[in-house]
Amino acid sequence: MSNVCDICGKKKFSGSTIIRRGLAKKKGGIGMHVVKVSPRTFEPNIQSIRVVDENGAVSRKKVCVQCIRSGRIQKPC
């Protein structure tokens, strides 16, 4: 089951989770130190909703919430 938006093509991308230890300098410590960097993925907020096509037909598509909010799709009444 793909996790890609059918309208804009948004999909998951990779990043990092950074673990830090120590007390911040502004709190009186010697600063925060990075002790571990773990890979992770950022998933888009994909919703399966009913959409009206250009022809007027209603179909079910996977759409990201950004496309829903911006009005790029038309919901059936």
User: Is-contact 64 42, C-beta < 8 A?
Assistant: no
Considering the domain boundaries, does residue 76 fall inside one?
no
Q: For residue 23, give its domain range.
A: 13-70
Residue 43 vs residues 14, 23, 37, 57, 63: alpha-carbon distances, Å: 9, 31, 19, 29, 13
Considering the domain boundaries, does residue 37 fall inside one?
yes
- Confidence class for position 2, pLDDT limits 50, 70, 90: confident
Considering the domain boundaries, does residue 25 fall inside one?
yes
Considering the domain boundaries, does residue 52 fall inside one?
yes
59-75 mean pLDDT: 96
47-76 mean pLDDT: 95
- Domain count of the fold of the chain: 1
- Give 72's DSSP letter: -
The rounded distance, in Å, linking the Cα atoms of 63 and 9 is 9
Mean pLDDT of the chain: 95
26-48 mean pLDDT: 97
51-56 mean pLDDT: 92
The rounded distance, in Å, linking the Cα atoms of 27 and 16 is 26
